[in-house]
Chains A and B, each alone.
Chain A
């Protein structure tokens, strides 16, 4: 039985939501998972929305100071669908500003890892993964551009599902990169993800890029390990992952190693496209109409806009500058144009690989880092750590990250990828996995 059905079938005290909000508010002081907690929640299976997903009347800032105070007049389609099915809105979750980060540290109050607050929660859907990890019954609606669901799910020991590009409407999502952004789900169990996904997926007349194709479940019995992916993983990760492969073989999967050399360029391709698109998406933040509002109109529009855009954090500034550079007319074909063609090449190659199996990699090539370790990384080192989550995101393939081991008290995640629209197969795989592997959690807020 899914947790959702279990939740609805159990008796709840009248004070259930009040207690949940109280306990959550208290733990949130330590872990910073939520930017807003909806204290008036009084019914439904509790879900949260990443802060870049609009919920009518609730501050939606994508954890950016430039959007402080923005309360949208409309809700994202995915949120409306959940609300219409009696799910209860619990609050907005903290993230890397606009989704720009792999560790959740690029914002004012970074979320902390529930297994050990000295460790990062992973990004960019940091708060979403923490929320799923600390509550017994919870759906965290998150969003991934290049790994923002898989990474924090892996670091926080929960299941993170990123659907095929276009299967969930992006209407109401504050854009990072329009050709890469996907709304997905982080939760404790794949069964709950299957149920929630069936609610939020579907074509939306308000999102031109949403598709109506019904997700499939074509089960595969072969697992492909990418040679290039394993070369990037650190030793601790590699040895744990080898044990996982053994277990999967015992479960009856055929495991095969294959090579796909162009994958080593995926990080460049991804960052060029995503930054180019991001720099146009962030152009709209100029300090009037919504969010942060400048005061002095007399200084002229250029000075006024520039002053307002100083509210961007360092990483946002870096990506806007880089994105503006790679689409400049004189270098556009070398960077942006080339990256689009290289994306076509990677999709073609990956599709061929996926023809007869799933691709499985560790979610991250490293174990969960501490805040102090992340501080030492250069932006490029940080980008390079996305090497395993980027390929499926760049190609829009459905993928799921699930916990498979605990090393030094911290969870490790693996990521399973399948072909376009075979979403329910990756969910099904994780369901099968969790039947024989027990996930560990440190908190169980809201248990019944």
Chain B
């Protein structure tokens, strides 16, 4: 993997690696990707994508409002300002 490609991968997932860590992890990752490539030889003809291991009957919920009373407790321990949650600058 090219250094630039690895850099863009890191920035895509917002991960920063220290210098020593970077070389090691990049090498590990290249080795694992090569291992993944061995899957290329598999012929999966006729098989669709299995998103789950079993068939799951669909589950939906009725359009009803139930639990708004607890809202306050979800703001516990969070920095807030006039009921707004405070987050990093955009």
Contacts and interface: CB of A to CB of B under 8 A. Distances in A.
B57 A211 contact: yes
A320 B13 contact: yes
B73 interface: yes
Interface stretch (A77-85, A216-224, A298-306, A437-445): A298-306
A282 to B, nearest CB: 8
B56 A297 contact: no
B32 to A, nearest CB: 6
Interface stretch (A28-36, A46-54, A308-316): A308-316
A272 interface: yes
B61 A347 contact: no
Interface string B1-20: 00000000110111111000
Contact of A293 (B40, B48, B76, B79): B79
B12 to A, nearest CB: 6
Interface residues of B, number: 48
Contacts of B23: none
Interface stretch (A116-124, A335-343, A360-368): A335-343
A448 interface: no
A351 B44 CA distance: 16
A290 B77 contact: yes
Interface string A374-394: 000011100100000000001
A166 B56 contact: yes
B56 A211 contact: yes
Given A73-B74, A310-B16, A318-B25, A269 B35 contact: no
A205 B59 contact: yes
Contacts of B16: 306-307, 309-310
A208 B59 contact: yes
A312 B72 CA distance: 29
Given A166-B56, A288-B79, A317 B15 contact: yes
A306 B47 contact: no
B32 A322 contact: yes
Contact of A396 (B53, B78, B86): B53
A344 B48 contact: yes
Would you call the interface of chain B mostly helix, strand, loop, or mixed?
loop
B33 A396 contact: no
Contacts of B70: 73
Contacts of A321: 9-10, 13, 15, 25, 29
A344 B55 CA distance: 12
Contacts of A98: none
Interface in A160-195: 164-166, 179-180
A300 B9 contact: no
Contacts of B77: 69, 71, 290
Nearest to B38: A268
Contact of B53 (A288, A300, A312, A343): A343
Given A73-B73, A299-B89, A324 B44 contact: no
Q: How large is the interface on A (under 10, 10 to 19, 20 to 34, 35 or more residues)?
A: 35 or more
A60 interface: no
A326 B33 CA distance: 9
B52 A299 contact: no
Interface in B28-55: 28-29, 31-33, 35-36, 38-40, 42, 44, 47-54
Given A271-B32, A343-B53, A380-B28, A306 B73 contact: no
Given A320-B13, A396-B54, A325 B33 contact: yes
Nearest to A320: B13
A332 B71 CA distance: 39
B21 interface: yes
B32 A380 contact: yes
Contact of A420 (B13, B40, B49, B54): B54
A201 interface: no
A265 B35 contact: no
A195 B20 CA distance: 50
A165 B33 CA distance: 27
A427 to B, nearest CB: 19
Given A262-B42, A342-B42, A297 B36 contact: no
Interface of B: 9-10, 12-17, 21, 25, 28-29, 31-33, 35-36, 38-40, 42, 44, 47-54, 56-59, 61, 70, 73-74, 76-79, 85-90
Given A208-B59, A309-B15, 17 more contacts: A166-B52, A268-B38, A269-B39, A288-B87, A289-B78, A289-B87, A294-B88, A301-B88, A302-B14, A306-B16, A317-B25, A326-B36, A341-B47, A344-B47, A344-B50, A380-B32, A396-B53
The 5 closest A-B pairs by CB, nearest first: A396-B53, A340-B49, A304-B88, A344-B50, A341-B44
7 contacts: A300-B88, A304-B89, A321-B15, A322-B29, A326-B36, A328-B12, A341-B48
